[in-house]
Structure 1
């Protein structure tokens, strides 16, 4: 990977864990804060950039496979999943890593493949109920 991958000009080209949809992500800044911009079709989501390091640290501490459990913001996240952790008051930022109201969910769908691309995690690619673990 070249050092300019992950920029707006050269975004990470990713696929959802089931490998059914393509999307891209890149690092940007908004209101002085580092963010991940995730573009899925015409939908644009933003996540706090800290989620990469924080999720990797949580996975290392957990030490085993953990279910992704992706869900839209309006739906409850299954307990004990990456999605639930990504919106929990117990995580390092004390709540949602998703930053755009109404589009804060799907953390468990779009962030794990980035950690896999960065060589920080393994992600399963089954039709559903995928899991991930730290490398």
Structure 2
């Protein structure tokens, strides 16, 4: 059974791919746009809600496993990774799925476990170098 994305009052509890950190995710609307709200400790990140369908479609087309390659916004993303795709001018939104300037990175860290919880993808859970693929 697929998990549902939580609400502000009852967010979905998740773990990063290496299973080393806890965070929560819930759906919300900001400025008339559906967003995902990711809370890591006191840090709150926002991602465009459509990233779930867009990433799933890209992974289906890609066909096998893809490196996550998580990186902060200020650091370059490794080519060919989920992180690089999540900020590429060639993706369906033409750039960043992260919506808060300065906190737009880490797409490859926080979105894949949500997709796994929703039954859209498989994610590896190694200490480093994790990958994902569409289901």
TM bracket (short chain): over 0.9
Is the contact made by 2:8 and 2:28 (CA closer than 8 Å) also made in structure 1?
yes
Deviations 1:19-43 (A, max 9, x none): 0000000000111000000000000
Corresponding residue number in structure 2 for 1:107: 107
Alignment of 1:1-135 (within 5 A): 5-135=5-135
Which aligned runs of 4 or more in structure 1 are off by greater than 6 angstroms?
Answer: 1-4
User: Which residues of structure 2 form unaligned runs of 5+?
Assistant: none
Task: Specify whether residues 115 and 4 from structure 1 end up closer, same or farther in structure 2 by C-alpha distance, changes over 3 A only.
Answer: closer
TM-score by length of 2: 0.97
Q: 1:5 to 1:72 in 2, by over 3 A?
A: closer
Q: Deviations over 1:50-86 (max 9, x none)?
A: 0011000000010100000000000000000000000
Change in 2 beyond 3 A, CA 1:79/1:3: closer
Q: How many residues align?
A: 135
Structure 1 alignment gaps of length 5 or more? none
